[in-house]
Amino acid sequence: MTAPFVPPTREQLERVRALAERRLTAAELDAYVHAPWADGEREGTRELIDWFVRRYPTPLERLRAARRAYHRARARMPDG
């Protein structure tokens, strides 16, 4: 069973927004892009991609799924 959605507090939102909106230096971006995969991370990512393309076999189905997910996420976002 999935736990019910609990919206984040304003403080949590502010911390996440500050992290998301900060500008990375060229060195920080390079370190992120070239960081090694953690154990099992590559395999887990491939499994998720394989599931997704089986579940949504055409580009149109994938786009529709992405749009539905976006609308669900937007509905949960707080104002501001």
Tell me: the pLDDT tens digits for 28-71?
A: 999 999 999 999 999 999 999 999 999 999 999 999 999 999 99
pTM above 0.95, yes or no: no
In a domain, 68, yes or no: yes
Helices (H), 1-58: 10-21, 26-33, 41-55
Which pLDDT does position 1 carry in this prediction? Answer: 75
80 pLDDT exceeds 70? no
Nearest to 78 by CA among 12, 3, 2: 12
Identify the domain containing residue 66 by its residue range. 42-80
Residue 13 within any structural domain of the chain: no
In a domain, 27, yes or no: no
Distance from C-alpha of 43 to C-alpha of 35, rounded to nearest angstrom:
16
pLDDT at 7 over 60: yes
* Per-residue model confidence (pLDDT) at position 15: 95
> 1 is written with which tokens?
């069973």
In a domain, 33, yes or no: no
Concatenated DSSP letters of 42-67: HHHHHHHHHHHHHHS-SHHHHHHHHH
Q: What pLDDT score does 2 carry?
A: 83
What is the domain count for the chain? 1
Indicate whether 15 belongs to any domain: no
